[in-house]
Structure 1
Amino acid sequence: MPALNRLEQFDLLKFIDPKLHFNQQTAILFVAAARTSSWFDLLYTGENYRRWLLYLLCLLDDLTEKGVDRIGRWLGVQPKDHLLLCEQLPAAKQFLKFIRQHRYDQGEPKNSDIYSWLNGFSLEVILFLMARSENEKVRKWISFYVTDLRKEKVLLDGESLISLGFAPGRYFQDIFKMLLDARLNHEINTREEEILLVQKKFSPFADSSTH
């Protein structure tokens, strides 16, 4: 951060991009990112994440998509990281815009809703969202996703469904989503309960093309 402060003081960041600045708002976001990073490290998950990428997301927060793309190319980041910057950062901003409009007075969202909001984001983007969010409830939801929800797995697989008499088909994804949502919302817990729910909601004798 001191190096970025110096670049800002000498007005050198404009040579990277005219709209790139390290202002007070960015500095505050960097501090929040440092706290979030320390929080995650203390979970001792053993997962690797790129701390530099977390801070880069913070630095690029105010830029347009074209600006992010331009700086990513200028920095020469790996193609997969460049794709993350260009696709996940705008999506993360859209999530923050969406969540600001959430009716907090309507109670807590379902666990399956939180999962659907955040699933697909990289760990660095998740931590960025946690640092970037100004609402304590939203930070709590994100932390719950990190510590619990993202670990939830369906016990049945395709072979299990076939053994129950289901013909393979794309509707298997609908079944797995239903099961995952039910597990996330603590409606079922065991493999046997998954089987009962599938048999209740889906008929193995129906034509798979109708699902």
Structure 2
Amino acid sequence: MDTDPDQGKKPHSHPSNPYTSKANPHQQQPTHPPLQQQKRNSPFHPSTSPPKLTLSPKKPSQTIFTPINLILFSLFLILLYLRLRPSKPPAATLPVPPPPTVFKTFTPPTLLPYNGTANMPVYLAVRGRVFDVTPGRNFYGPGGPYQNFAGRDASRGLACGSFDADMLTEDLEGPLDKLEDLGGEEMEALRGWEERFTEKYLVVGKLVPVGHAEAGE
């Protein structure tokens, strides 16, 4: 029996060449843009303009030196200065001068009310001169060690260094004490007292007896 020499042999399989193989009509082929279009779309192609860089606007930086803040800060400094500035010293006020003293002529009865009671000034007489000893009220006014001399002729008591009431003239309507019986030492002591009164106190009048020609002045 004649046999086919190719019978029983497996057919040789050749690897399919993608470039020579026929396309399967049922297989979807990948689509690629043309090479010229790919080059044109490439970022490195000279005809392609480089992408534009857009810079976002910068936000204004926040600062404390705004007009309102500067005004408020100025007001704060003004208020701080007004509070901390040294206060002005009070205007120097001149002491109120005492009312002018009118020189008067006193008699023992008219001198008596000036003994510091009832808000009256304190006067006393030494050898015919009347002194205003009101600044020394603590000594010559009510309750003071020399209160017996207030409103009276204190000449004999000062000369003798005695502040007792028996040194005073009892009869206010009678003549003044002329001190004729005092010795030299007593008169020297009296002059010393008179000098002290002249240095410290004002002379506001003179003392005359009742019925004297000047008594009504």
TM over 0.5: no
Tell me the TM-score range normalised by the shorter chain.
under 0.3
Normalised TM-score (structure 2): 0.20
Which TM-score applies when normalising by structure 1? Answer: 0.20
Larger Rg: 2
User: Which has a greater percent of helix?
Assistant: 1
> Counting strand residues as a fraction of each chain, which structure ranks higher?
2
